Each structure stands twice: as C-alpha cells, then as structure tokens.
Structure 1
Amino acid sequence: MLTNVFVPCNGRFPLLIALAGIFMGGAEGRNSLLAAGVVTGVVLSGIGMTFLVSRLLSRTLLKGVPSAFALELPPYRWPRIGSLLVRSFLDRTVFVLVRAVTVAAPAGAVTWVLANTEIYHESLLSLAARCLQPLAGFIGLDGYILLAFILALPANELVLPLLLMAYLNLGSLVELDTLEALGGVLRSQGWTWATALGVMLFSLFHYPCGTTLLSVYKETRSLKWTLLAFGLPLGVGFGALLLLKVILVFGQACALLQV
C-alpha cells in the first residue's frame, strides 16, 4: 500500500520511454540500447527502493506490527460467462470509472480555470508555475514541470499533455504527433538529458494518482495512512532529485578541474 507506487504503472511508462528516446536515444534512435538501458535502470531503481523503504518501515513506523497475507480462493465451479461479464463490469469497470471521475472532474475544472484565466495578460497557470519555480529549481526542475505533476493527480498520463499546454501557453490539453516535435518543444525550454533524467526519476518517485489515494483511504479508513501514502514517495522523490543534483554538480566540478 505504501511502497507499490515505486513500481511504475502503465501511466508512467509512456513518459519514461518518450524522454529516454528523445534525450538518450539520440537522432533516429542511434542510441536505442542506451535509452532502453536507462528505462530499465529507472524501473530497477524503483524496485530496489521498494525493498529499501519496506525494510526501513518495518524497523521504524511499522516495527512490531505483525504482517500476514491471506489468500481466499473461491469455490471451484464452471464459470457462467454472462454472470462473469456482468459482475466484472459492475464490480470493476464502473467502480473504477466512478472513482476516476470523482478525482478527474474537480482537477479538470481547476486546470481549465488556470489555463483560461488571465491577470495582467498572464494566465494563472503561468503565475502558478512562477510561484513554484524556486522550489522546482532547488531540485533541478522548473515550475512548469512541478505544476504539471501537481495537476496530473487524476492520472499520470496527463503529465506530458499538461506540460505542453503550459509551455505553449494554450488553453487546452495538447499532444504532439512525433517525438521529434516533442523534443523540439522541450529543448526550446532549456531541457537537457539531465532535466529528462530528473523528470523520469520524479515520475517514478512521487505520490500515486488520485484514484489510488481514494482506494487507500477506503481500505484503511484513515487519513493518516492516506497522507503517508502521499507524502512518503514524494519525500523519496525530492531526496532522489537532490542526490542527482549533487552528483551532477560534483561531476561538473571534476570536469572543470581536469580542464
């Protein structure tokens, strides 16, 4: 419940693959093996962080709490196709969609207002990004990136469309047709391979989507555990980005000394 967010879901893989392909893969995918290696490394780091955080929790916050896993098997019988389809639709599809709409509708309204309301010829979206710039710059990102992750709370798939909407100063979500076009927009905003790597790490190590948080609250009926499920991976993400920033600064200093 607290650590499964460190393993990327389907909503995060498109971002990881796209950024690795653009900034690590090079022109025409000449370094495709490097891009694949970076994505694999990011995923493996998430798995490693899962074990590390689980061990730390078992020795601190969850110390002495017994852990058990119970698997209840249903009675064996021939499946009834009609009943199976109906129950799956009602119990799973509709249930998940209702939760998604519960989170997505308010977030979508906030995003639309921010993008389409201007103060002194500047959208509220740009103003919010400027307010977040000091914090984002501290961890090696920019205000637009951090704002995109905040507004993408309903679904991780929204990070790139929201980021493009903010960079291009549009009033609605947008998607580009090719990776070359996406790379051109990102590079025009000052992105480098280091920025891309930082965004990939933050995509892996940040709070789960709103639907997952609702599920955590429903399962635990505790605001404390829900906030912990939100704050724990976010803290890990900030720590990972700060560590990356220190490594990059140290590498640049070593390169200057050699010159």
Structure 2
Amino acid sequence: MDDKDPRRFEELVSISDSVQTMYGDELTDSIVKDIYTFAEAITKKAVTKKSQRKMNFDKKIDDLLTSRILGFPIMFLLLGVVFWITITGANYPSQILANLFFWLEDKLTYLFMAADSPKWLHGILILGMYRTLAWVVSVMLPPMAIFFPLFTLLEDLGYLPRVAFNLDKLFKKAGAHGKQSLTMSMGFGCNAAGVIACRIIESPRERLIAVLTNNFVPCNGRFPTLIALATIFVGGLVSSRYSTIVASLFITLLVVFGIAITLIVSWILSKTMLKGVPSTFTLELPPYRKPQIVRILYTSLIDRTIFVLGRAVAVAAPAGLVIWILANVRIGDMSILNHLSMFLHPFARIIGLDGFILMAFIIGLPANEIVVPIIIMSYMAKGAMLELESLAEMKELFIANGWTFLTALNVMLFSLLHFPCATTLWTIKKETGSSKWTILSALIPTAIAIVVCFIVASTARLLGSV
C-alpha cells in the first residue's frame, strides 16, 4: 500500500496518537535526548573546539539560570527588576508629557475662547478627544519605551530562551506550547504586542490558546491602577516604612495569580474547544551573545512601541468623544453616564464593585489607563476626566463613595482579568482574521473576572467582612 494512500495515512495518525496517549511526552523527550547524545558523540570525534573556556562558562551560567531550585527565583527577580525600572523610570517622563499636553490644552482652550466657539465644540474636541489622547500617550509611551528595550535586551542576550525552558513543562502540562511563556512575558509590556509575538508559535491551535490567554498578565496600562490601589489599601494596612514593600509584594502575588489563571484557562481550552495533541517543542538554548544596541532600539521603539501606540491613539480619539457625550448629555436630572451606572449598580454590587466602577471599565475599553480618571470624574460629577493631585486625595474620595478593602481588591482583580483593551482586540482580529475568536477573547476573560470577583465578594460577606 502506498504511503500517500488516505487509509494508510489515517492508520499512521491513529498509531501516532495511540503512542502519544500511552507514553506522553516521555517518549518524545527520550527520542530527542538520544538524538542529541548521539550527535554530541559524533561532534566530539569530528570537531575541534577553540573556545572551550567560553562554552564551559556558558554552561555554568545555564546551570544557574535553568536550575530547578534557582531558575524560577532568578526569573521572577529579573522580571521584578524590569518592572521596578519600568515603573520608577516612567514616572518622570510621564509627568513631563502630562504637563506638556495639559499646557497645550490650556493654549487650545484659550484659542477656542478667543474664537468664541460653542462650549459643546470645545468640550468634544478638547475635553473629550484631546484629553483622552493626552492621557493615553502620556501614560502608555514612557513605560513602553522603557520596558520594550529592556525586554529586547534580555532577548538579544539569550536569556528569554532560558525563560521558555524553565516554563516549558508547566505549559506542556496545560496542553499549550512552551513558547507561550515568551508571548506571555511580552504581554507585561503590552497585551497587543504579546498577541503579535504569538506568531512564533507554529501550531495554529496552540497559537490561538496563547492569543486567548495573553490578557491574563497585566500590561503597563493596568499597572498604574494596580499600583495606586495596592499602595492605598494594601500598603495602608502597615506602617509607612513598609507600605511600599508590602504593596509591591501584593502586586507580585497578583501577577503570579494571573500566570496561574493563564495556565488553568490554557488547560481548559486544550481539553475543550481547542482540543488536540500538544506539538513537540525541542528548544536549543542559543549561546550568550553581545547585544546589538542599534537593533535593540529599532526593534523595541519602532516595531513595538510606536506600532502599538499608533493603534492605541487610533481608538482613543473616538472614545474620548463618546466619554464626553455620556458625561455631558443629560436625560432628566442626570447624565447618560449616571443613568447607565445606576442600571449596572445592582449587578456590580453582587461582584463587589459599584455601577460607576463597572461603567468606567466598559467605557475605558479603548485604554486601561483611563479607567481610574473616569471613576474620579463620575464620583465628582464632572463633565471631563480628572486626575487628583495625590493618593491621599484619591483615598478620601473613594472611601467617601463607599469603598472598602474588599472594593479595592475586587477592582484590582477585575482590572487584572477583564476583557482586553480595544487596541488588543483590534490586534487579535488582525492576527486571527476571525470575529469569532476576537469576541471569545473578550468574553472568556470577562466571564472569569466576574466569577472570581463574585467568589471573593461572596466569601467576604459569608465571613462577615463587609
């Protein structure tokens, strides 16, 4: 019988699946190990190595970075350092950009007044569209401009394949691809960039799993919300001397929780709608190399930062228009925003939030950065997005509007797990070419966010914490 015969092909596939089911990854790993052992033996006989010292040095570093004991602590420590540099370093340029944009806003406002323009036109164009754009650019650009070069530097040095090596077994057990660890890591800078990075996964099934779960790691747009609330409500539980450390540890726990959700959802998808046999992933660790600074800057700033920021700006401008209309057009004695928030309030209370918070997440779809300013705008009954001068003022405003530790916890969990921003959804549509998977990429995390918040809120109520 010819190998191209369909019946012969089906028989071979059946045998392959049976062997895979019977022996799992152990057979694949054993075969690969034997191949590499045989190849190494041939290499030792046929090749003369001039840089044995460097190879030994690389091996010593690998023994440390891929160690079963130290590999994960070093990985999380490096990730923590990258986060710390990104968050700390982004504060100053973000403030400079914000000051510049709002100085320009004052000048534009003066021009509108001098031209005797209608208030509604100034509101739509300046307080709505321009202010939203200013917020998105000033908050998104500096963290991305810091995170992506650092991430690309680790990639260029050869460390990221070691990260994939460390996480490979966890993702294999979840029925996903080892390379998903790299796309997940990219999501910390921007989930849209993480979705684009899923191109490195050859299997369409496993690429889809990576795309659908990339949102469960917080991007730089969600970190400001997490940091502010953790500092106010978690760091506030201890003395000021330890508040920053405690808040940082809590954010790290949230990140670990997000990674755990990524693995759980990947496993569920691989057993249900994206069922299939995991593809073999043989990872050859490349040698450590000197980074190419020019290439790093071009790749990180042009290919990633500017590309993602461009998409964010494209969706932020119309969003600003919608937000201004909702906050300023009144029906009866309340704005449309208030009416919608009141409608959502009963459901929001069930999951430990309130109507204004849930509405802020919904109309904050274009960019996660504007969720907190929308909440502040709603509580203060203003017609444009606002930002308070200090965290102390923010805490007073939130507590005056009924916030407790449980409210803050559920806001952080919902922020961590809810639907992707519009830029990410747009990117998913471009990458998958499918409206179905784009819709599911929004519905799956939102459903999980609602369930998790409901469980936390219900448990707190049963224990009498609220």
| TM-score bucket of the superposed structures, by smaller chain | 0.7 to 0.9
Question: Which of 86, 105, 114 is the aligned partner of 2:317?
Answer: 105
What letter is aligned with 1:133?
A: H
1:136 aligns with 2:348: yes
Distance change in 2, residues 1:95/1:13 (3 Å) = closer
* C-alpha displacement of 1:174: 0.6
Q: Which residue of 1 aligns with 2:222?
A: 12
CA distance in 2, matches of 1:43, 1:251: 26
Counterpart for residue 449 of structure 2: 237
Segment of structure 1 superposing worse, 203-212 or 102-111: 102-111
Matched-pair contact (CA < 8 Å) for 1:144–1:163: yes
Q: C-alpha separation between the residues in 1 aligned to 2:409 and 2:299?
A: 42
Matched, 1:21 2:231: yes
What is the CA–CA distance in structure 1 between the aligned matches of 2:232 and 2:273, rounded to whole Å? 41
Q: Distance in 2 between matches of 1:63 and 1:127?
A: 43
Match of 2:156 in 1: none
Structure 2: which amino acid aligns with 1:29? Answer: S
Question: Counterpart in 2 of 1:177?
Answer: 389
Distance 1:80 1:21, change over 3 A: closer
1:91-102 to 2 correspondences below 5 Å: 91-92=303-304, 95-102=307-314
Structure 1, gaps ≥5 residues long = 72-78
Which structure has the greater CA radius of gyration?
2
The partner residue of 1:222 within 395, 418, 434 is 434
Q: Deviations over 1:169-212 (max 9, x none)?
A: 11111111111000000000000000000000000010111101
Matched-pair contact (CA < 8 Å) for 1:21–1:29: no
Deviation at 1:250, TM superposition (A): 2.2
Report deviation, 1:98: 3.6
Q: Distance in 1 between matches of 2:306 and 2:228?
A: 31
Q: 1:12 to 1:59 in 2, by over 3 A?
A: same
C-alpha displacement at 1:84, in angstroms? 9.1
Q: 1:228 to 1:69 in 2, by over 3 A?
A: farther
Identity score, percent: 49
Contact 1:6/1:50 (8 A) holds in 2: yes
Runs of 4+ in 1 over 4 A off after TM superposition: 65-71, 83-94
* In structure 2, C-alpha distance between the alignment counterparts of 1:227 and 1:210, rounded to whole Å: 12
Query: Residues 54 and 112 from structure 1, CA distance in 2 versus in 1: closer, same or farther, beyond 3 angstroms?
Result: same
2:361 is equivalent to residue 149 of structure 1: yes
Stretches of structure 2 that go unaligned for 5 or more consecutive residues are: 1-210, 284-291
- The C-alpha deviation readout for 1:99-155, integer Å capped at 9, x for no partner, is 223321221111000111112221111111111112211211100000000111111
Q: What displacement does 1:90 show?
A: 6.3
Moved more, 169-178 or 21-30: 21-30
RMSD: 2.8
Query: Does the 8 Å CA contact 1:24/1:31 hold for their aligned counterparts?
Result: no
Q: CA deviation at 1:96?
A: 2.9
**1:29-68 superposed Cα distances (whole Å, 9 cap, x missing partner):** 3551443332222111101101111111111111026657
2:99 is matched with none
Deviation at 1:95, TM superposition (A): 3.6
User: What is the count of residue pairs matched by the alignment?
Assistant: 249
